[in-house]
Amino acid sequence: MSLRTALLLAACLLSAGAAAGEIPLSERRSGYELMGRETRAMQDDDATNPGMLWVLDGETLWRKKAGAADRACAACHGDARTSMKGVAARYPAFDAALKRPVNLEQRINMCRTGRQKAPPLAFESRELLALTAYVARQSRGLPINIAIDARSKPFLDAGSEAFHRRQGQLNLACSQCHDDNWGKRLAGSVIPQAHPTGYPLYRLEWQGLGSLGRRMRNCLVGIRAEPYAYGAPEFVDLELYLMWRANGMKIETPAVRP
Amino acid sequence: MARAVVTLPAQAKRGEIIEIKTLAAHSMETGFRRTQTGELIPRDIIRRFSCTYNGTEVYRVDLHPAIAANPLIVFTTIATETGTLSFQWVGDNGYTANETAPIRVE
C-alpha cells in the first residue's frame, strides 16, 4: 500500500468516526418509536397507562397539606395544570442559591424543606415519584427546552464529558451505545438513543415507575461501573446533558418502556 | 393508597357492547421471590376482581401469582339499562379497592 492510499484510508476512517458521533436532528428517535405496537398503545391510552396511577397519587399529594408550615403545593402554585405547564421541559435548571443545576426531584424536595418545612422525600419513594410524575405530566407534548448560559455551561460540559468517557470494567462510554450503535440490539433489546423524554416512566421490567437516576444507575451497573448515589452532582450533570441533547423533542411523561 | 382507575363510556345505546378498562395499583408480589439473604418474600396479590351492573354480577376473575403488577383488566358487557357499575378488587393482607361508575343507556 502506498503512503498516499494509507493516508486516504486514515482520513476516511476519521471522518466515519466523526459522523458516528452526534445524532442529527432528523434522525433523533424517542425510545417510543423503537418499541412494540402493544407497548406504544399502552402508553398512548391513559386508561391503560399504569404511570397514570402515580400521576393520580401525585394530584392528591399536590393538594395535601404537609410539614410544619401546614401548606400544600397548591397553596402557593395553585392549579398545576397551568402553573406547572412546561416546567419539566426546562429541568434540570440552574439554581442561583446552590450555584449548580438541580433536577425536578431535587426542586420538589427543596420546596418541601424550604417552604413546607417538611422532611425531604426519599429518592424513588412512591410519594416523590408521584409528585414528579404529576408535575412532569403537565408538560406532556411540549418540546424540551434546556437553555444553557455561562453559569450552567461548565455543568453541561461535565455531563458531556461523562457521556463520552469510557468507564467500568467493560470500559464503555454511554456514547458508544447510544450515539454510535442505537437501533442495533443488545441481548435482544433495541438500543435506544437515550433521550430522557418520558421520565419518571413506567418500565415493564421494573413493574413500576422509576426516575432517570434509576435508569442511569442500571446502565452504570450494566457496564460494571460503580453507580453514583441518587441525586449525586455527577448524575444531575449527565441528566442536564441528556436533556439538552434531546432539546426540541416532546415530553411524554408518564411514558411506558419495555 | 388503594388506587384504582376505571374507564368506560358515559353513555351507550341499549344492547350495545361496551368495553370497560380497569387498572389497580398493586405490587402483585408472587410469594416465590427471595431477598438477598434468602428469605422468602411473602405473597401479596389481588385474589379476585368482580364487576356488578345494578347489583348483578357481570364479570369476575380470579388472579394468581405471576400476574403482572398493577393489573390491567379489560372486558366487555352489554349495556342494558341506566345505572351504576361497581368494581371490587380483593386481595391478601386485607387489601380492598372499590370504584363505581355511572352509565346512561338510551
Contacts of A157 (CB under 8 A, 6+ apart): none
Contact (CB<8Å) A47/B5: yes
State whether residue A60 sits within 8 Å of chain B by CB: yes
Tell me, yes or no, whether A14 lies in a domain: no
Minimal CA separation from B27 to chain A, in Å: 8
The answer to whether B91 touches B44, Cβ cutoff 8 Å, is yes
Range of the domain at A244: 26-257
Residue among B7, B70, B74 whose CB faces A50 most closely: B70
Tell me, yes or no, whether A9 lies in a domain: no
The confidence score (pLDDT) of residue A44 equals 96
What 8-state DSSP symbol labels residue B39? P
Burial class (CB in 10 A: 0-12, 13-18, 19+), A176: middle
Q: Which of A111, A174, A177, A219 is catalytic?
A: A219
Closest-CA residue of A relative to B1 is A57
Query: What is the residue-level pLDDT of chain A in tens, covering all 258 positions?
Result: 454 554 444 444 444 333 345 788 788 999 999 999 999 999 999 999 999 999 999 999 999 999 999 999 999 999 999 999 999 999 999 999 999 999 999 999 999 999 999 999 999 999 999 999 999 999 999 999 999 999 999 999 999 999 999 999 999 999 999 999 999 999 889 999 999 999 999 999 999 999 999 999 999 999 999 999 999 999 999 999 999 999 999 999 999 999
Q: What is the pLDDT of residues B26-66, one digit of tens each?
A: 999 999 999 999 999 999 999 999 999 999 999 999 999 98
Closest-CA residue of A relative to B24 is A53
Q: For chain B, give every domain's residue range.
A: 4-105
What 8-state DSSP symbol labels residue A138? T
Compute the residue count for chain A: 258
Q: C-alpha cell of A67?
A: 410539614
- Angle, helices A233-245 vs A153-164, to 10°: value is 90
The confidence score (pLDDT) of residue B6 equals 96
Tell me, yes or no, whether A5 lies in a domain: no
Q: C-alpha cell of A179?
A: 450515539
Provide, as residue numbers in chain B, all residues whose Cβ is less than 8 Å from the Cβ of A53: 3, 5, 23, 25, 70
Burial class (CB in 10 A: 0-12, 13-18, 19+), A238: buried
The answer to whether A245 touches A29, Cβ cutoff 8 Å, is no
Beginning with the edge strand found earlier in the chain, give each strand of the sheet holding A208-210 in spatial order: A208-210, A201-203, A256-257
Closest-CA residue of A relative to B9 is A47
Burial class (CB in 10 A: 0-12, 13-18, 19+), B30: middle
The confidence score (pLDDT) of residue A4 equals 55
Compute the residue count for chain B: 106
The confidence score (pLDDT) of residue B60 equals 97
* Total count of domains within chain A: 1
Residue among A53, A207, A208 whose CB faces B5 most closely: A53
What is the band of B2 on the pLDDT scale with cuts at 50, 70, 90?
confident
The answer to whether A104 touches A135, Cβ cutoff 8 Å, is yes
Strand (E) or helix (H) holding A80: helix A80-83
The confidence score (pLDDT) of residue A86 equals 95
Read off φ and ψ for residue A256, nearest 5 degrees.
Answer: -120, 135
- Cα dihedral A253, A256, B2, B5 sign: positive
The confidence score (pLDDT) of residue A2 equals 53
Of the candidates A39, A47, A53, the one whose C-alpha atom is nearest the C-alpha of residue B8 is A47
Cα A228 from Cα A216, distance rounded (Å): 9
Q: Which CATH number fits domain B4-105: 4.10.110.10, 2.60.40.1180, 2.60.40.10, 3.40.640.10?
A: 2.60.40.10
State whether residue A127 sits within 8 Å of chain B by CB: no
- Angle, helices A126-137 vs A51-63, to 10°: value is 90
Cα A254 from Cα A138, distance rounded (Å): 10
State whether residue A208 sits within 8 Å of chain B by CB: yes
A76 is catalytic: no
Residue among B1, B23, B25 whose CB faces A48 most closely: B23
* Half-sphere exposure for A43 (CA within 13 Å, toward CB): 27
CATH of the domain at A244: 1.10.760.10
Tell me, yes or no, whether A20 lies in a domain: no
Tell me, yes or no, whether A174 lies in a domain: yes
Query: What is the average per-residue pLDDT within B91-102?
Result: 96
Q: What is the pLDDT of residues B4-14, one digit of tens each?
A: 999 999 999 99
Query: What pTM did the predictor assign?
Result: 0.90
The confidence score (pLDDT) of residue A25 equals 79
Query: Max Cα separation, chain A?
Result: 79
